[in-house]
């Protein structure tokens, strides 16, 4: 019998409401998962000193460093973590920068279907 660990996700968004919305959509998927939440790039990096999530969903517009700046650092420190930029800032240039970092690009507001497709895709 194969035992799998719960999926671990990191939500990084300065908006508590946006994090709550993402959390509800993720929980609606019915997957066994643990969720970590951060409201900034700095708080995300602090969490990552003691945890290694499988997936990070990262907002672009945040006080301090933006989501792409955070992702650049995470790509170096956590190369196996899959990341998606989840943002209402839907510009082709931004999507291309995210893709250049190996990130998926999910426009806000997200849907449970979009999140499910990203989570279930192969690395």
The rounded distance, in Å, linking the Cα atoms of 121 and 123 is 6
Place of tokens 């019998």: 1
Domain count within the chain:
1
The rounded distance, in Å, linking the Cα atoms of 101 and 92 is 14
Q: What is the pLDDT of residues 42-82, one digit of tens each?
A: 999 999 999 999 999 999 999 999 999 999 999 999 999 99
Would 85 be classed as within a structural domain?
A: yes
Beta carbons within 10 angstroms of residue 19's beta carbon: 19
**106 has a pLDDT exceeding 60:** yes
19 pLDDT tier (thresholds 50, 70, 90) = very high
Residue 120 backbone dihedrals phi, psi, to 5 degrees: -85, -10
- pTM listed for this prediction: 0.92
Predicted confidence at residue 56, as pLDDT, reads: 97
Would 61 be classed as within a structural domain?
A: yes
Half-sphere exposure of 8 (CA within 13 A, CB side): 12
Residue 31 domain boundaries: 7-120
What is the 8-class DSSP label of residue 104? E
Predicted confidence at residue 122, as pLDDT, reads: 59
Domain at 82, CATH number: 3.40.50.2300
């Amino acid at each position: 019998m194969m035992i799998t660990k719960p999926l671990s996700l990191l939500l990084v968004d300065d908006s508590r409401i946006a994090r709550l919305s993402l959390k509800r959509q993720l929980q609606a998927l019915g997957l066994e998962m643990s969720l970590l939440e951060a409201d900034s790039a700095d708080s995300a990096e602090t969490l990552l000193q003691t945890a290694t999530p499988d997936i990070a969903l990262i907002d672009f517009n945040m006080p301090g460093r933006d989501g792409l700046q955070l992702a650049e650092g995470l790509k170096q420190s956590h190369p196996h973590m899959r990341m998606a930029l989840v943002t209402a800032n839907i510009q082709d240039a931004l999507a291309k920068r995210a893709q250049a970092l190996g990130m998926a690009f999910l426009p806000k507001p997200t849907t449970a279907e979009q999140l499910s497709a990203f989570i279930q895709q192969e690395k």
